[in-house]
Amino acid sequence: MGNCGSAETAVAAAASKEIDNQLKAEQKNSQQNIKLLLLGPGETGKSTVLKQFKLIYGDGYSQHEKIAFRTTILTNVMTCALSLINAMDMLKIPYNFDPNAPIPTTDDPDDEENALGEEDRIRDERGSAEEVCENEFEYEPEQSRKFSDRNALIESEIPKIENPLAKYAAKMYRKSGGRNKQTGPGPTASAIVKGFDMSFGISPGETLPDEIVNAVEVVWKDSGIQYCYARANEYQLVDCCAYRAKEVCHPEYNPTEQDILNTRQMTTTVTETKILVEKKLFRIFDVGGQRGERKKWAPYFDDVDAIIYLVAISSYDQVCLEDSSTNRMVESMNLFDSICNHPLFKMTEMIVFMNKIDLFKEKLEKTPISQYFPTYQGPNTYEACSEYFASRFIALNLFPEKSIYLHFTWATDTKQIKAVLAIVNHSILRFVSAFDVGLM
């Protein structure tokens, strides 16, 4: 019996040691994994940064995967063309409109404009019921808005800017008969594009019908459409390569890495991607940033080592897709406030990417940020304006012991983002190892 007892004890001890070893191995393993979340509102560039991780540290995209992006690219071509066409009626721009022609000043009482009935005028101001419905989006309001940045609450709503050229375009739109009465290549091509069934799939060697591709080309060439494109902040248009219709619609077209970076596909499921960075396993979680997607985030909030929070710095003059009365930059600040000050992230490395600096620079040249952020009094230079927005985000952090690391990024530019990711990854690894040895 005694022997039996000691054998049992030996077996139990061996089992216990085995469990200890397993636990140690698991602990060691979990210490070697870096859990990184990509967070931020929709269209800020989270999935683009993930693509860059794959290109720079992973295996990139196989030929098969590249070809699979064709359907997304062609969908982008069609949705961009459709957005422009719908925006022509929403903004009241006639086809063939020349924004560079001088605006005539006339008070002629016989002017057709003055002959417009009051009912027409009101309908034109507000848009017809049909147009209003077409431009409305469903969204789920935020559960809690405890955001306390007073300036941002004032800035939340996009101001309506009086623009003589826009008014003149609307007048010409009314004169041309509005939505259904315009004739010529632009309206004809637009009708073809609008009639296309968007539920298509593309197999290798196939593409969209010629008639559709030609119609998209004609639409883009119209001077009224070009003017509408220049006013893209007033409606929803994705930042992608849709204007190269002829090239990307060729049946033999093979997407390049740059084209893949430029594609737009809204994320609707949380994905985990494992990538080795400096011999450490990074588990990168990419989430959907639209309001309706954010309820899926919380289950991933445990044991996070680092967060890269994406802001589209170029979106200062745009409203949210989900809510046409909220400025995108204010939405970004609001969401950052709740993420950065979340109790679970008190000790999490917080990195902010002020992304889309290429578009930001372009926009600044024609649209000063003070038009949308009237509390800003500084010069309209890239340096001053980018610093201003950076300081607004940093000021939201309520944990005095936590630092925010901020970078200005151009996520579709592999060279630029490679340099930034090298710094960021190094800093994450240093932060995590300091945490492991109890320095934090």
Q: Point out which residues bind ligand GTP (CB under 6 A).
A: 40, 42-48, 238-240, 261-262, 264, 266-267, 288-290, 310, 355-356, 358-359, 410-412
Cβ of residue 243: shortest distance to ligand GTP, in angstroms? 13
From 290, 318, 326, 348, active-site residue: 290
Sign of CA dihedral 56, 59, 65, 66: positive
72 vs 223, beta carbon nearer Mg ion:
72
Cβ of residue 46: shortest distance to Mg ion, in angstroms? 5
Cβ of residue 338: shortest distance to ligand GTP, in angstroms? 16
Q: Which two tokens stand for residue 161?
A: 């800017």
Q: Is 256 annotated as a binding residue?
A: no
- φ/ψ (deg, to 5) at 404: -110, 125
97 vs 410, beta carbon nearer ligand GTP:
410
Burial classification of residue 276, based on how many CB atoms lie within 10 Å of its CB (0-12 exposed, 13-18 middle, 19 or more buried):
exposed
46 vs 356, beta carbon nearer Mg ion:
46
From 43, 239, 259, 305, active-site residue: 43
From 70, 174, 264, 328, active-site residue: 264
Say which DSSP state 319 is in.
B
Query: For this structure, is 305 an active site residue?
Result: no
Cβ of residue 52: shortest distance to Mg ion, in angstroms? 13
Q: Is 267 annotated as a binding residue?
A: yes
Show contacts of 185-192: CB within 8 Å, 24+ apart.
Answer: 185/218, 185/222, 186/95, 186/96, 186/218, 186/219, 186/222, 186/224, 186/225, 187/95, 188/218, 189/214, 189/215, 189/216, 189/217, 189/218, 189/219, 189/222, 190/85, 190/88, 190/95, 190/215, 190/219
Q: Which two tokens stand for residue 321?
A: 């897709």
Query: For this structure, is 108 an active site residue?
Result: no
35 vs 51, beta carbon nearer ligand GTP:
51
Residue 153 binding target from ligand GTP, Mg ion, none, CB below 5 to 8 Å by type: none
Tell me the residue nearest to ligand GTP as measured from the CB.
289
86 vs 409, beta carbon nearer ligand GTP:
409
Residue 182 binding target from Mg ion, ligand GTP, none, CB below 5 to 8 Å by type: none
**334 vs 34, 144, 302, 421, CA distance in Å?**
27, 10, 22, 25
**68 vs 205, 253, 287, 411, CA distance in Å?**
12, 12, 21, 21
E strand or H helix that includes residue 76: helix 63-90
Residue 261 binding target from ligand GTP, Mg ion, none, CB below 5 to 8 Å by type: ligand GTP
Q: Is 289 annotated as a binding residue?
A: yes
Q: Is 66 annotated as a binding residue?
A: no
Residue 176 binding target from ligand GTP, Mg ion, none, CB below 5 to 8 Å by type: none
Nearest alpha-carbon partner for 368 in 164, 159, 227, 168 = 159
Interface with Mg ion (CB under 5 A): 46-47, 267
Cβ of residue 412: shortest distance to ligand GTP, in angstroms? 4
Determine contact, residues 376/391, Cβ cutoff 8 Å.
Answer: no
Query: For this structure, is 120 an active site residue?
Result: no
263 vs 326, beta carbon nearer Mg ion:
263
* Helix and strand counts by DSSP (H, E) for the chain: 16, 6
Query: For this structure, is 362 an active site residue?
Result: no
Cβ of residue 78: shortest distance to ligand GTP, in angstroms? 15
E strand or H helix that includes residue 421: helix 414-436
Numbered residues of the known binding site for Mg(2+) = 47, 267
**Which positions are catalytic?**
43, 48, 264, 286, 290
